[in-house]
Amino acid sequence: MSASDIKTEIVETDLLVIGGGTGGPMAAIKAKEANPGLRVLLMEKANVKRSGAISMGMDGLNNAIVPGYATPEQYVKEITVANDGIVHQKAVMAYAQGSFPMIQYLDRLGVKFEKDGSGEYNMRKVHHMGTYVLPMPEGHNVKKVLYRQLRRLQVSVTNRYMATRLLKSADGRIAGAVGVNTRTSEFLVVKAKAVVLACGAAGRLGLPASGYLFGTYENAANCGDGYAMAYHAGAELANLECYQINPLIKDYNGPSCAYVTGPFGGYTANNKGDRFIECDYWSGQMMLEFWRELQSGNGPVYLKMDHLAEETISEIETILHTNERPSRGRFHAGRGNDYRKRPVEMHISEIGFCSGHSASGVWVDENARTTVPGLYAVGDMASVPHNYMLGAFVNGGIAGADAASYCESVDMAAYDEGYLAAEQERVLAPTRRDDGLTPHEMEFKTRRLVNDYLEPPKVTAKMEIGQRRFAEIREDLGQLCATDPHELHRALEMQSILDCADMAAAASLYRTESRWGFYHLRVDHPETNDDEWFCHTMLFKDEFGRMSHRKREVAPYVVPVEADEMAAYHQLRVKTPVAAE
């Protein structure tokens, strides 16, 4: 089978949005609202009705900035402190200012948030400093609401097309993207003036402790395609060494979920039943304390709820077992876990990239623009830290509105025909072999090596071994074999995963200090070195096709943070009382 045997359809649009989960649909919606005449195409690898991280809904907003509870300035300060100061505050501020209007917008569309008797949002405190959590006990209809709005605004949708590479013009502007159908392997080439990448986290990077390839924390469809596409298009990626690592229910690998149970009185405890962290909000320092406890004689770590009243536990169960990850109840039933009777064992997740919970991603400014003209990135794959679902919506909206006006100011760029032909050959290569290596085994090996060599605590010599082993796997790509379109889809994903593994290693080696608690704990560079590394690290493909790095200054803060405030997230371990003499 050669590229010429496979059908290639070429379509033209103004704005192409890649990824129909959370940020992508909102980018499409806000672009259409800004300019109803704009042609907007949403390309999705699965089906927009049920794709992405919020496929089954969401149980709460983790970063809601609601007047009366917090100001955008307070939030910007909290996120700056939680990320050891390495944030582009203007982008965090753009999110913070858009947060409440987006909640009101979603509310009008029919998304249900918890309200008190007088109709006010029922805010809860989970963060170390401020109050930002808004429960969504009936948050299971988010995708339906989004889908309805996409239809209402006549956004074009193509399901089951996986974008493989971005197309650019000779002058470096975005010109569109190549997609391949996951069921037929037919190509769809989309010519576009602007592209919004909304492909989610790199959630299939580390291998879950269960060994099940798809037993990931993130929706396993979110395998890092967006990071790989941005990298190959020459965009800069920021702070990838700041991994996502989360405290999860052991083996089930879903959130435990301290954000839901915390406000009800549940907490993270050690095997003595004692609290060991002051704050269950997910940060690098919290994960470091969690890991230390796992390693100590006080491990494992548990989510403790057995001290709570029956009606409280029932309410928690209703929230946790009907939203976001409803199979959690089924998992607990199989294990004989009952929140009433004993605490639930927790564990540390595999590594990934995800700005939803950490601070890495394709670099974007306060307008969601990447470093490539006409290319935007939003949601878990963009560099705005601790963004969660609401951040994906807000930044998606920002990208959509900005891209709509960008599209009016530029002509359609012409893509390089030779590049497209080479990309089609790369895509189809695994279909030309009758035998060789399967996508599953190549993915398993890549991800097993990610665990062996890239997980923190990070050791220079180990990460260098990891790089050599990844290079061997890259040579083995010449044997990668796909026997049907579904397997080809997995073969392409496996290549995104390998790209992300290389990026994780290179980024971690570049920053020769420790920062963000457990996320970038380098054993042979144990101290934080603000003199040399109080900066973003940017990873990019240079003009010779090599993986390169540079430092980017942290832009002057729009919300000043005092030195003593900056350390607030460093003191998360519960202080042990001094023994009586």
For another protein, how many residues bind (rule: CB under 8 A)?
41
When asked if residue 300 is in the footprint of another protein (CB under 8 A), the reply is no
The H-assigned helical ranges of 61-212 are 72-82, 89-109, 142-152
Nearer to another protein, 359 or 492 (CB): 492
Q: Which stretch binds another protein (CB under 8 A): 69-77, 268-276, 323-331, 369-377?
A: 323-331
Residue from 13, 80, 182, 185 in contact with another protein (CB under 8 A): 182
Shortest Cβ 111–another protein spacing (Å)? 17
Do you find a cis peptide bond into 67, omega within 30 degrees of 0?
Answer: no
Residue from 168, 489, 520, 522 in contact with another protein (CB under 8 A): 489
What strands lie across the sheet with 194-197, from one edge to the other? 156-158, 40-43, 15-18, 194-197, 375-377
Residue from 326, 412, 509, 549 in contact with another protein (CB under 8 A): 326
| DSSP state letter for 176 | E
When asked if residue 252 is in the footprint of another protein (CB under 8 A), the reply is yes
When asked if residue 528 is in the footprint of another protein (CB under 8 A), the reply is no
- In Å, what is the CA distance from 468 to each residue of 350, 455, 510? 21, 16, 16
Nearest CA to 482 out of 112, 1, 32 is that of 1
Shortest Cβ 335–another protein spacing (Å)? 8
Nearer to another protein, 89 or 496 (CB): 496
Nearer to another protein, 312 or 483 (CB): 483
Nearest CA to 107 out of 137, 142, 80, 132 is that of 142
Cβ-based neighbour number of residue 408 at 10 Å: 13
Q: Which residues, 430 to 449, sit near another protein by CB under 8 A?
A: 435-438
Nearer to another protein, 413 or 488 (CB): 488
CB 395 within 8 Å of CB 93 = no
Q: Is the dihedral of CA 520, 513, 377, 112 positive or negative?
A: positive
When asked if residue 160 is in the footprint of another protein (CB under 8 A), the reply is yes
Any bridge partners for residue 194, and if so which? 15
When asked if residue 55 is in the footprint of another protein (CB under 8 A), the reply is yes
When asked if residue 336 is in the footprint of another protein (CB under 8 A), the reply is no
Per-residue contact flags (x/-) with another protein for residues 14 to 53, judged by CB under 8 A: --------------------------------xx-xxxx-
Nearer to another protein, 46 or 401 (CB): 46
When asked if residue 214 is in the footprint of another protein (CB under 8 A), the reply is yes
Three-state DSSP class for 194? strand
Q: How far is C-alpha 338 from the geometric centre of its chain's CA atoms? A: 30
Burial grade of 213 (CB within 10 A; 0-12, 13-18, 19 or more): middle
Nearer to another protein, 50 or 340 (CB): 50
Site residues (CB under 8 A) for another protein?
46-47, 49-52, 55-56, 160, 182-183, 210-216, 219-221, 251-253, 325-327, 330-331, 334-335, 435-438, 479, 481, 483, 486, 489-490
